[in-house]
Every structure is written in structure tokens, then in C-alpha cells.
């Protein structure tokens, strides 16, 4: 009897020790797991941390109920503008213009304003057809406790992310002898390590690199032809070169991130001399789409000694993307056309073959959990399966109005929420499964 009891007690002690070990292991692992989850709930800059405009989140709705996902809350007081949102360290950043004064804003995730700071003068125009396009287009960029923003008239500034205290600023137009872009500066600057990439498009520097901590110049490239384009930077490796890629009014180009040396250029000239959509870099290729009836094209970037020689693989009039951006996913590119091929397209990225085309409008796009989120410029948001097989809609709804003008601010999926900005308001939807 005594031996039996001791045997039973021994088993209980073993089980207790095992359970204790499991609990302790869980407690030790939990902080790291929570940190990883928190980092996934961030979207620190325009088109996300890797500039692919693809969220890594999962567990999202694969089909929306009638009328769309649930509206969680509405941020108000953003003013005019087309700035998207960036989200990091528990705050949301965007920009807007009130009474012709542009501001950068920081909100908490419940919609409470934490701070707002002026960011230079507003862009204005006497052209009646463009008079409603006022307000910032750039999206704030967050990095390591600092927010960077390029104003419409070329004032670049760095702010403490939590307080809005200005750390440094530079007037790009004045310092680099740059003319006012036709639609004002619209670039969302990029941080890569200690480097900040921005494009004044001036005589003393078309593409430049600054020290992100001080704003001091690291290098400037003056060889890029043409006046200002409206793309934002993307980076990637081509052979042994790490390049930053952007566009002028008449070309797309790559420069060495270490030296600023010119690596390659291709002429991309549309009816308005106005390139807006960001390039897509993958492997040794660059995909380009340009609006105003020009179309799309793919180049292979061949490294030959100290040169990179672009080789055109294909060019098509299809999907002349205006400014809504494109998504590359599993070998296919998705986006809308404008004047030449209005509607949503899926193209085989290596051949240019049209897989499908749908609707007769244009808009902006983002991606998450196997689905495309397409926002048409008149306010219809759709959930579309990211598949070359067919255009398959899994839900749609009409976004409320936040004022006047088109729905041109790019949507964001972050923290199982869908953010859609229209003029003065930001609408936040629950898209969790």
C-alpha cells in the first residue's frame, strides 16, 4: 500500500514539474511572440516596409457581408489632401491641409489627435481643372521613433514620433535649385538604414541621399534627365549593386545607393510627361506602368562589367496605370488602366499577356491574405481574389464621403483593419475573419 502511494505521488510530482516547465517556457516566449505580432501590426510608410504594397497579415475575411465589413470608427479633421496613412508604435500618421496650411498629424488608434505640425506652404494652381487637387499627397514615413515628411513645396522635415517636436528640416527647392513641380511634391520619402532617399529634381541634385539623423547630404545625382516625376523610391539588388529606383517626367532610372552613381535609365514618355506609378523591382527585372495611354513594360537589367544595360522584354498598351499603383503577386501584376485601357487588369508579368480585364473605372489598390482591395476613384471598394484565373469579387461597398474630390488616397490593411481616407475623414473597417 505504501509503495503504491509513493508511486502515485511520484507520478504527480513528475506531471507537476512538466506543467511548471511548460508554463515557464510560455511566459518566457510570450514577450517575443507579442513583439512579433506587434511588428506585423505596423505599416510604417507608403506601401509598407518593403514598398511592395502587400500586407503579410493573415486571418482576414475572405468574403464580405452584404454592405461590406463593419465600420469601427471614423477619424475626422484631416483637411484636404490625398495622403495615405502610416502606422507604427501605436500611432497613425497622415497629412492634410486646413485653410491652405498643410499639417502632419499623429492620432492614436482610437482616432484621438495626439499632435499636428505645419509642414511648409501649400501648393496652389490657377488651372481650373486642377484646382480641386489641393492638399498633401505624400505619406509620412516612420523609422525608429522619428517621422519624416516632404511638404508640397519641398520642405522636408523630421519630427519626434511621439511628440511632434521638429528635429531638422531642409528646403529642397532652395538648396538644390529646383523648380516647383506642376502638381507640387508628392513623393513619400524612403528610409534605408541610415539613408534617406528623396528627389528634389533640381540643378544641384535630382536624386539625393541624406543622413536620416541630421539631414546632411551624403550624395547627389545630377545626371537624371527631365523634370520632377511623382513616384516614390523603391530599392533592390541588381547583381552586386543595391539601387534606388525612381522616375523623372520622361524616364525611369536606377542609381547606386552607396555612391549615387547612375546605373541605368529607360525612356518612358507619355502624353503629359508625367510618370506617377512606382516601379516594381524583382529578381533582375523592373516592371513599369505609365498612364495617359502609354501602358506597361518589362525590362531585364543585365549587369555587364561596371554597367547595367536595360533590355526590353515586352511593352503593351494595356494597364496604363495612372497613380493607383500595381501589385505583383505570384508572377502576375494587378492594377487599373486609365485613358488607354480603363478598368482593372491582370497581366502575366513575364509576357504581358492579359489574363482578365474588368469594370470601366480606375483606382488604387493594396493586397492582404490572398486578396486584392481595389478602391475605385468614385468610392466603390471591392474585395477581389488575387488570381489570374478570373476576376472574382468577394464583396463590395460604397465608402462614405469625407468631403469633395476623388478617392485617390491609397487604402491600407494593417492590424486586421482596413483604412480608407477620403478628404477630411478616415474610415476604419474591421476585416478580421
Ranges 27-41, 73-87, 125-139, 162-176: which has the least confidence? 27-41
- Per the model's pLDDT, the better-predicted residue between 51 and 17 turns out to be 51
- Which of 426, 433, 408, 313 is closest to 71 using CA atoms? 426
Q: Determine, yes or no, domain membership for 37.
A: no
Q: Is residue 10 part of a domain?
A: no
In a domain, 274, yes or no: yes
pLDDT for 35 equals: 29
Contacts of 174 (CB under 8 A, 6+ apart): 154
Domain count, the chain: 1
Please tell me the chain's helix, strand, coil percentages from 3-state DSSP, rounded to the nearest 5.
10, 45, 45
Query: How many whole angstroms separate alpha carbon 343 and alpha carbon 224?
Result: 32
**Among 347, 230, 337, which residue's Cα sits nearest to residue 298?**
347
pLDDT at 31: 34
Residues 6+ apart with CB under 8 A from 135: 79, 80, 81, 82, 83, 96, 97, 102, 122, 152
Percent of the chain whose pLDDT exceeds 70: 91
Position 3 confidence tier, pLDDT thresholds 50, 70, 90: very low
Closest CA to 167 of 211, 198, 136: 211
Angstrom distance (rounded) from CA 379 to CA 374: 10
Q: Is the dihedral of CA 100, 92, 114, 150 positive or negative?
A: negative
124 — pLDDT class (breaks 50, 70, 90): confident
C-alpha dihedral over 348, 302, 51, 96, to 10 degrees? -100
Alpha carbon of 298 to those of 15, 102, 125, 270: distances in Å? 62, 37, 35, 16
C-alpha cell at 316: 503593351
26: pLDDT strictly greater than 50 = no
- Reported confidence tier of residue 17, pLDDT bands at 50, 70, 90: very low
Within-domain flag for 254 = yes
Domain that holds residue 293: 43-430
Span of 116-130, 229-243, 380-394 with lowest mean pLDDT: 116-130
How confident is the model over 406-425, as a mean pLDDT? 98
In this prediction, residue 8 has a pLDDT band, given cuts at 50, 70 and 90, of very low
Tell me if 426 is assigned to some domain. Answer: yes
pLDDT of 40: 62
Is 28 within the bounds of a domain? no
| Residues 185-218 pLDDT 10s | 999 999 999 999 999 999 999 999 999 999 999 9
Task: Tell me what the mean pLDDT of segment 110-128 comes to.
Answer: 92
CATH of the domain at 415: 2.130.10.10
User: Is residue 8 included in any domain, yes or no?
Assistant: no
Determine contact, residues 71/428, Cβ cutoff 8 Å.
Answer: yes
- pLDDT tens by residue, 73-106: 999 999 999 999 999 999 999 999 999 999 999 9
389 assigned to some structural domain:
yes
**Rounded mean pLDDT of the chain?**
91
Other CB atoms within a 10 A radius of the CB of residue 317 amount to 13
Q: What is the pLDDT of residue 132?
A: 75
Reported as a pLDDT band with limits 50, 70 and 90, residue 340 is: confident
What's residue 9's pLDDT? 40
Strand order in the sheet with 417-422: 70-76, 425-430, 417-422, 412-414
Handedness of CA 73, 50, 181, 103 (dihedral sign): positive
**Sorting pLDDT into bands at 50, 70 and 90, what band is 39?**
low
pLDDT confidence of 16, banded at 50, 70, 90?
Answer: very low
Strands (E), 109-203: 113-118, 141-143, 146-150, 155-160, 166-171, 190-192, 195-198
When pLDDT is averaged across residues 392-400 and rounded to a whole number, the result is 98
The residue length of the chain stands at 433
User: What b-and-e string marks burial along 139-151, b requiring 16 or more CB atoms within 10 Å of the CB?
Assistant: bbbbbeebbbbbb
What average pLDDT does range 271-294 have in this prediction? 97
Alpha carbon distance 196, 202 (integer Å):
17
For position 12, what pLDDT does the model report? 45
Amino acid at each position: 500500500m505504501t509503495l503504491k502511494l509513493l508511486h502515485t505521488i511520484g507520478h504527480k510530482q513528475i506531471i507537476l514539474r512538466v506543467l511548471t516547465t511548460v508554463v515557464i517556457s510560455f511566459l518566457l516566449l510570450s514577450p517575443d511572440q507579442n513583439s512579433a505580432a506587434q511588428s506585423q501590426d505596423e505599416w510604417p510608410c507608403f506601401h509598407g516596409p518593403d514598398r511592395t504594397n502587400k500586407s503579410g497579415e493573415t486571418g482576414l475575411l475572405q468574403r464580405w457581408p452584404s454592405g461590406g465589413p463593419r465600420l469601427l470608427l471614423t477619424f475626422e479633421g484631416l483637411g484636404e489632401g490625398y495622403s495615405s496613412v502610416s502606422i507604427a508604435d501605436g500611432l497613425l500618421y497622415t497629412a492634410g491641409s486646413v485653410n491652405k496650411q498643410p499639417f502632419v498629424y499623429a492620432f492614436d488608434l482610437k482616432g484621438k489627435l495626439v499632435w499636428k505640425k505645419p509642414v511648409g506652404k501649400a501648393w496652389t494652381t490657377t488651372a481650373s481643372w486642377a484646382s480641386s487637387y489641393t492638399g498633401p499627397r505624400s505619406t509620412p514615413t516612420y523609422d525608429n521613433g522619428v517621422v519624416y515628411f516632404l511638404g508640397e513645396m519641398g520642405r522636408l522635415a523630421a519630427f519626434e514620433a511621439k511628440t511632434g517636436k521638429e528635429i531638422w528640416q531642409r528646403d529642397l527647392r532652395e538648396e538644390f535649385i529646383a523648380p516647383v513641380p506642376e502638381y507640387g511634391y508628392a513623393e513619400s520619402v524612403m528610409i534605408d538604414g541610415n539613408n534617406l532617399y528623396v528627389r528634389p529634381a533640381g540643378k544641384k541634385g535630382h536624386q539625393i541621399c541624406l543622413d536620416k539623423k541630421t539631414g546632411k547630404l551624403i550624395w547627389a545625382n545630377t545626371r537624371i534627365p527631365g523634370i520632377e516625376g511623382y513616384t516614390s523610391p523603391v530599392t533592390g539588388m541588381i547583381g552586386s549593386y543595391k539601387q534606388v529606383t525612381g522616375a523623372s517626367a520622361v524616364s525611369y532610372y536606377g542609381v547606386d545607393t552607396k555612391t549615387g552613381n547612375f546605373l541605368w535609365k529607360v525612356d518612358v514618355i507619355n502624353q503629359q510627361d508625367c510618370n506617377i506609378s512606382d516601379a516594381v523591382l524583382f529578381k533582375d527585372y523592373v516592371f513599369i506602368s505609365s498612364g495617359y495611354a502609354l501602358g506597361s513594360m518589362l525590362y531585364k537589367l543585365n549587369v555587364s562589367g561596371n554597367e547595367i544595360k536595360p533590355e526590353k522584354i515586352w511593352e503593351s498598351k494595356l494597364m496604363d496605370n495612372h497613380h493607383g499603383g500595381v501589385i505583383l503577386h505570384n508572377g502576375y501584376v494587378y492594377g487599373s488602366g486609365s485613358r488607354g485601357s480603363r478598368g482593372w487588369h491582370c497581366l502575366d508579368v513575364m509576357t504581358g499577356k492579359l489574363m482578365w480585364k474588368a469594370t470601366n473605372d480606375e483606382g488604387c489598390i493594396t493586397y492582404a491574405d490572398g486578396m486584392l482591395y481595389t478602391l475605385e476613384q468614385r468610392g466603390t471598394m471591392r474585395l477581389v481574389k488575387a488570381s489570374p484565373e478570373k476576376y472574382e469579387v468577394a464583396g463590395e461597398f460604397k465608402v462614405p464621403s469625407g468631403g469633395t474630390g476623388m478617392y485617390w488616397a491609397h487604402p491600407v490593411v494593417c492590424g486586421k483593419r482596413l483604412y480608407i481616407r477620403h478628404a477630411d475623414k478616415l474610415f476604419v473597417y474591421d476585416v478580421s475573419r
